Amino acid sequence: MGDKVLKKIVITYLRKFAEPKIKKICGHDVSLLISNVRKNILNGRTFFIETDPIINEDVKIEVTEIILNYVKTAIKFVGEDEDKVMVYLNKTQKDSHPYNETISDGKSFRVFTESVDDGELKWHRDRETRMVEVIESNNWKLQIDNELPITLVVGEKYLIPEGVYHRIIKGNGDLKVSISFTY
């Protein structure tokens, strides 16, 4: 199915079903707009949805759940796999990483918050070797391809070679790391 038709079906579901529920939560009208639809690494779809006005952080998780449920319903209606759908609310594709990042002195400081969705923590590989130093961990884990997950320990450093598949597994609380790219 073409992206234009899919977007039209999904936005119809969102306007008819999601927007009235969101209005009850927020106390005012909220318009939803699909800013982009992309294939994701699960061979599903990722929807970038914007709200007007911007949703308050207090209700963002609840609103995202409502939107995700109706996007999945629309995807199921058109015969695609609704379990492979991802939704980003008020994020562009460019800033859709599951972490907040600050770059300083050739290092990247990343914070993965406790509220990050498990579905955002995907298997991936990087184009450069990285040394990751754990600043704060609350039972978060690192899993390298073909290995069992290991618990990230504060103060320890972990080498992730270029091109090696890996992922982070969510723990409790936030994960804070410092990443060096000079290897």
Give mean pLDDT, residues 63-75: 92
The domain defined by 3-93 folds into GMP Synthetase; Chain A, domain 3 (3.30.300)
Q: So what's the pLDDT on residue 87?
A: 85
DSSP class of 59: G
Q: Identify which of 124, 134, 135 has the alpha carbon closest to the alpha carbon of residue 159.
A: 134
Average pLDDT over residues 96-106: 74
34: left (phi over 0), alpha (psi -120 to 50) or beta: beta
Query: What residues pair up with 133 in beta bridges, in sequence order?
Result: 157, 178
Mean pLDDT of 91-112: 74
pLDDT at 46: 81
Count the Cβ atoms, other than its own, within 10 Å of residue 25. Answer: 15
pLDDT at 176: 94
Name the pLDDT band for 36 (thresholds 50, 70, 90).
Answer: confident
**Does residue 42 carry a pLDDT above 70?**
no
The structure tokens 């999904």 sit at: 10
Determine whether 102 is exposed, middle or buried from the number of CB atoms within 10 Å of its CB (0-12, 13-18, 19+).
exposed
Confidence of residue 98 (pLDDT cuts 50, 70, 90): confident
Domain ranges of the chain: 3-93, 97-180
Select the more confidently predicted residue: 183 or 19. 19
Burial class (CB in 10 A: 0-12, 13-18, 19+), 85: buried
Q: Where are the beta strands (DSSP E) in 31-151?
A: 31-39, 45-52, 86-89, 100-104, 107-112, 130-136, 141-144, 150-151
What topology is assigned to 97-180 in CATH? Jelly Rolls (2.60.120)
Max avg pLDDT among 1-10, 33-42, 141-150: 141-150
User: Does position 149 have pLDDT exceeding 80, yes or no?
Assistant: yes
- Mean per-residue pLDDT, 8-17: 94
pTM of structure:
0.51
